[in-house]
């Protein structure tokens, strides 16, 4: 009897263990299922959904559908939901992009984007058919030849405007303040985007304009600096660095320009920081230790057409206290795009990181705020008064106006307090006898440099004091 009771007890224990194991396993399966439902659907499930949609379209669409066209459309759709600068590049546009990076392509010379579903000019590139014809920032291109641009992608619009040298294309443009459409018959040319122009404004004061950062920009800048020193054997008293309407380009060459002025007396000087999700997208550009340009005053001119690499350069000089930034708020493109080649010769251009200035300010959707705000005005010639301010300085829209634009870090994450901008009024008459009579911003930059030179002379006569540009730059942070 005792033996039988022990067997019953053991049997009940085994049944209880089996029951608990079954309940535990069922609970685990239920928990796992609930987690899967609450979380993101598995990749395989999403791909199956995409394939299901494609099969339905192929079977039931009113016309026969090209599968390759569907696949490319799906990729375009995916990227268009990310941000304005991520897109799919078919083989031909991808090839053209690589040519463009080298600084030569066939076309008109216009930087464009989509604003409010309209094809809009960001800025024309200097010395190109579009620039010579008078196409301006913020122009709305509503028709290319006989093709309406409404609904076209950036790539489709670019393909319509680019072509072989000597071929013709007509742009139909709507411009603010104009009652009727403007027609621009243009002839395509090889666009060798000259990235550099330099000259002496008046003895002792140099001017360098960078229109785009290309492969040779760093070398060209070094040559321009040497030429200015040769033209001014008594030494440069100041430099105007003009980045207005500069849409950007290669970050490496922008860093090479900054390297002429940043890093003196330090182990290194930070030029720009890039922060991305993957380790390969996180990096810093530092100035090289070595001989730098003399500490003469520098004024950097920017406006709403100054974007990307030009904002990086302006921000680096501003944060390092090496230059005074003058003009209007820059465009605010602070994102890094990487192009990944695909097996069919096409490419995926996707945003992989964001740019930050040396003091941790995000450029994205904010831009660079000038230390001194000076709007674009045209000064009349021959002693006449200054004309009214132009509407739409460089570009009335910026990165923050684009659909699906990425937001930068929320204000307050950086410890840097931006300068309170100084709004400068226009003088009654232009500066006489100087090559700045029809460029108000440039005339004010030159006036600023001369004033800083006087301050330096006075400080030197008193036997002390910091150079004016460094002091002004530090005060502006």
409 vs 88: CA distance, rounded Å:
27
The tens digit of pLDDT for each residue in 378-425 reads: 444 333 333 333 444 444 667 777 767 787 765 444 433 444 444 433
Nearest-CA neighbor of 274 among 340, 318, 338, 369?
338
Whose tokens are 């439902």? That residue is 37
Share of the chain above pLDDT 90, in %: 51
Is 308 a known active-site residue?
Answer: yes
pLDDT at 34: 38
Q: Which is the catalytic residue, given 136, 333, 349, 377?
A: 333
Segment 19-30 mean pLDDT: 43
Query: 106's torsion region: left (phi>0), alpha (psi -120 to 50) or beta?
Result: beta
Evaluate whether 162 touches 105 at the Cβ level (below 8 Å): yes
Tell me the C-alpha to C-alpha distance, in Å, between residue 15 and each of 18, 182, 397. Answer: 5, 89, 74
Helix (H, G, I), strand (E, B) or coil at 302: strand
pLDDT at 236: 96
Evaluate whether 350 touches 290 at the Cβ level (below 8 Å): no
DSSP code at position 188: -
Q: What is the mean pLDDT of the chain?
A: 80
The tens digit of pLDDT for each residue in 407-418 reads: 776 544 443 344
Evaluate whether 394 touches 120 at the Cβ level (below 8 Å): no
pLDDT at 46: 83
Q: Which is the catalytic residue, given 157, 308, 335, 346?
A: 308
Q: How many CB atoms lie within 10 A of CB 14?
A: 10
**pTM, full prediction:** 0.66
pLDDT at 155: 81
Is 143 a known active-site residue?
Answer: no
The tens digit of pLDDT for each residue in 37-93 reads: 444 456 678 889 989 999 999 999 999 999 988 988 999 889 888 999 999 988 887
Is 3 a known active-site residue?
Answer: no
Q: Which is the catalytic residue, given 319, 371, 393, 439?
A: 319
247 vs 98, residue with greater confidence: 247
Cα 390 vs. chain centroid, distance in angstroms? 24
DSSP code at position 401: G
Tokens of 457: 């002379």
- Report residue 468's pLDDT band, with 50, 70 and 90 as the boundaries: low
The tens digit of pLDDT for each residue in 178-225 reads: 989 999 999 999 887 678 999 999 999 999 999 989 888 999 999 999
pLDDT at 266: 56
């Amino acid at each position: 009897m005792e033996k039988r009771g022990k067997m019953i007890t053991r049997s009940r224990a085994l049944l209880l263990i089996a029951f608990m194991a079954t309940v535990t396993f069922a609970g685990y399966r239920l928990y796992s299922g609930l987690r899967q439902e609450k979380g993101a659907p598995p990749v395989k499930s999403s791909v199956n959904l995409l394939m299901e949609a494609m099969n339905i379209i192929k079977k039931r669409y009113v016309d026969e559908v090209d599968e390759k066209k569907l696949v490319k459309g799906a990729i375009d759709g995916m990227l268009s939901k990310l941000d304005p600068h991520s897109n799919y590049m078919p083989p031909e546009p991808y090839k053209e992009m690589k040519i463009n990076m080298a600084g030569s392509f066939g076309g008109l010379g216009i930087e464009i984007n989509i604003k409010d579903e309209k094809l809009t000019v960001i800025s024309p590139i200097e010395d190109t058919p579009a620039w010579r014809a008078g196409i301006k920032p913020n122009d709305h291109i509503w028709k290319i030849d006989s093709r309406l641009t409404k609904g076209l992608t950036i790539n489709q619009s670019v393909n319509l405007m680019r072509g072989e040298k000597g071929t013709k294309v007509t742009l139909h443009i709507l411009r603010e303040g104009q009652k009727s459409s403007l027609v621009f018959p243009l002839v395509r040319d090889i666009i060798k985007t000259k990235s550099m122009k330099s000259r002496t404004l008046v003895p002792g004061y140099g001017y360098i304009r960078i229109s785009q950062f290309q492969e040779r920009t760093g070398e060209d800048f070094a040559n321009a600096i040497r030429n200015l020193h040769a033209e001014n054997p008594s030494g440069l008293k100041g430099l105007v660095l003009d980045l207005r309407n500069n849409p950007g380009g290669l970050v490496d060459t922008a860093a090479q320009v900054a390297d002429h002025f940043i890093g003196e007396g330090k182990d290194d000087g930070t030029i720009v920081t890039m922060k991305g999700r993957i380790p390969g997208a996180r990096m810093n550009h530092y100035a090289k230790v070595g001989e730098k340009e003399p500490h003469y005053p520098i004024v950097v001119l920017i406006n709403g057409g100054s974007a990307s690499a030009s904002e990086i350069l302006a921000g680096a000089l501003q944060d390092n206290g090496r230059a005074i930034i003058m003009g209007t708020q820059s465009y605010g493109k602070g994102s890094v795009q990487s192009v990944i080649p695909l097996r069919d010769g096409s490419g995926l251009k996707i945003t992989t990181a964001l740019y930050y200035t040396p003091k941790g300010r995000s450029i994205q959707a904010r831009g660079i705020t000038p230390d001194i705000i000076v709007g674009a005005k045209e000064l009349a010639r021959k002693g006449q008064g200054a004309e009214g301010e132009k509407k739409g300085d460089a570009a009335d829209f910026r990165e923050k106006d684009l659909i699906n634009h990425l937001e930068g870090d929320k204000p307050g994450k950086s410890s840097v307090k931006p300068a309170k901008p100084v709004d400068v009024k226009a003088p009654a008459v232009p500066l006489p006898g100087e090559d700045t009579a029809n460029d108000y911003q440039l005339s004010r930059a030159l006036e600023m440099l001369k004033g800083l030179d006087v301050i330096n002379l006075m400080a030197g006569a008193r036997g002390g004091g910091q150079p004016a540009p460094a002091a002004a730059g530090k005060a502006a942070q």
